[in-house]
Amino acid sequence: MINSAYTPPLDLIRRPRRNRQSAAIRALVRETRVHVDDLIQPLFVKDGNGGPEAIGSMPGLERLSVKSLVKEANELVKLGIRAVALFPTIDPVLKDARGKYAVMARNWFFGTIRHLKNEIPELLVVADVALDPYTSHGHDGVLDANSGDVANDETVHILTQYASLLAASGTDIVAPSDMMDGRIGAIRDELDREGFSQTSILAYAAKFASAYYGPFRDAVGSAKSKGVPALDKRTYQLDPANLREALLEARLDEDQGADILMVKPAGLYLDVISAVKAGTTLPVAAYQVSGEYAQIHAAAHAGWLDLEKARDESLLAIKRAGADILLTYFAKDVAKSLKNL
């Protein structure tokens, strides 16, 4: 008969559980932390003076006019968030096949950036460089008349103009998200030629043709109508199966003058983040995209996940994989949690 009153101790030198016995010691030995300084809050902006518009597929997110944008940015700064990434929602009447409104001086988005920087000069403003908010077809560039595919070099020429206009409006970091070949070098040359040598480039170095962008496309108005197949962007965005190709893209962007490399999406591409980090001395950013955000919210709403715990674990995983910078729609809520608000 086994005597249950006494269990002899195991002969163990190492007992890893000793470092898990209390919240205090777990905090002391914690290897990875998400800090408020790591966070960039993406924001969707619209023209006019109307109130915020809720985005149905992205709970808690809104399209903001300039007045509400400044208010939101001030709240972010008070929470310790020092950077925002801006994405314009363009009225369909201003769109055409070439996205010409992107490079018009009267583009309201330039004025919004100027106003925001005048009101909060210490705020770091990142602006997306792509044509999909401006094109009537929703692709990230100009379509070739013969093939119907995005014309690479013609698109790059327009993007360089757009990036320069964004810099002239006060943008601190331009972020080309289009995945055209050669656009980082062309934009760097244009910025330097126009006197914006201090404007940084955050390159969407490894942007994959992901199924997780749907809510974002709703937010900026580049989604197709209900019942119409989603746009096929696989001729310019990366195949989700390809890691080595992602590393090639990152290396090319670094060689062409990128200041920061980014992987998008983040949560499903932790191996890519880790590999990019291992192959560069540049800062590495990762974008927790709209589908990742919506997915966590939906599961939490159904009662299947704890929203805050799932949110924090997802961001820890991205940071642990090697990301220095986190673009996440959860940034404001995380900053509140870090301040215990």
DSSP code of residue 235? T
Catalytic residues: 207, 264
DSSP code of residue 52? P
Q: What is the pTM of this model?
A: 0.94
Residue ranges of E strands in 167-318: 173-176, 200-207, 260-264, 284-288
Closest by CA position to 136, among listed 197, 221, 250 = 221
pLDDT in tens, the chain (341 residues): 566 678 899 999 999 999 999 999 999 999 999 999 999 999 999 999 899 999 999 999 999 999 999 999 999 999 999 999 999 999 999 999 999 999 999 999 999 999 999 999 999 999 999 999 999 999 999 999 999 999 999 999 999 999 999 999 999 999 999 999 999 999 999 999 999 999 999 999 999 999 999 889 888 876 654 555 578 999 999 999 999 999 999 999 999 999 999 999 999 999 999 999 999 999 999 999 999 999 999 999 999 999 999 999 999 999 999 999 999 999 999 999 999 87
Phi-psi region of 233 (alpha: psi -120 to 50; beta: other; left: phi over 0): alpha
CA 172 to CA 116: how far, in whole Å?
12
Give all domains of the chain, ordered by start, each with its CATH number. Answer: 33-338 (3.20.20.70)
Task: Report the 3 state secondary structure along the chain.
Answer: CCCCCCCCCCCCCCCHHHHHCCHHHHHHCCCCCCCHHHEEEEEEECCCCCCCEECCCCCCCEEECHHHHHHHHHHHHHCCCCEEEEEECCCHHHCECCCHHHHCCCCHHHHHHHHHHHHCCCCEEEEEECCCCCECCCCCCCECCCCCCECHHHHHHHHHHHHHHHHHCCCCEEEECCCCCCHHHHHHHHHHHCCCCCCEEEEEEEEECCCCCHHHHHHHCCCCCCCCCCCCCCCCCECCCCHHHHHHHHHHHHHCCCCEEEEECCHHHHHHHHHHHHCCCCCEEEEECHHHHHHHHHHHHCCCCCHHHHHHHHHHHHHHHCCCEEEECCHHHHHHHHCCC
Query: What pLDDT sits at residue 110?
Result: 98
> In angstroms, what CA-CA distances link 190 with 166, 176, 197, 201?
12, 13, 9, 12
**Axis crossing angle, helix 307-321 with helix 270-278, rounded to the nearest 10:** 30
Closest by CA position to 320, among listed 16, 34, 13 = 34
Query: What pLDDT sits at residue 229?
Result: 59
CA 66 to CA 48: how far, in whole Å?
7
CA 203 to CA 10: how far, in whole Å?
53
For residue 121, the one-letter residue type is P
Instruction: Judge whether 259 and 281 are in contact, CB under 8 Å.
Output: no
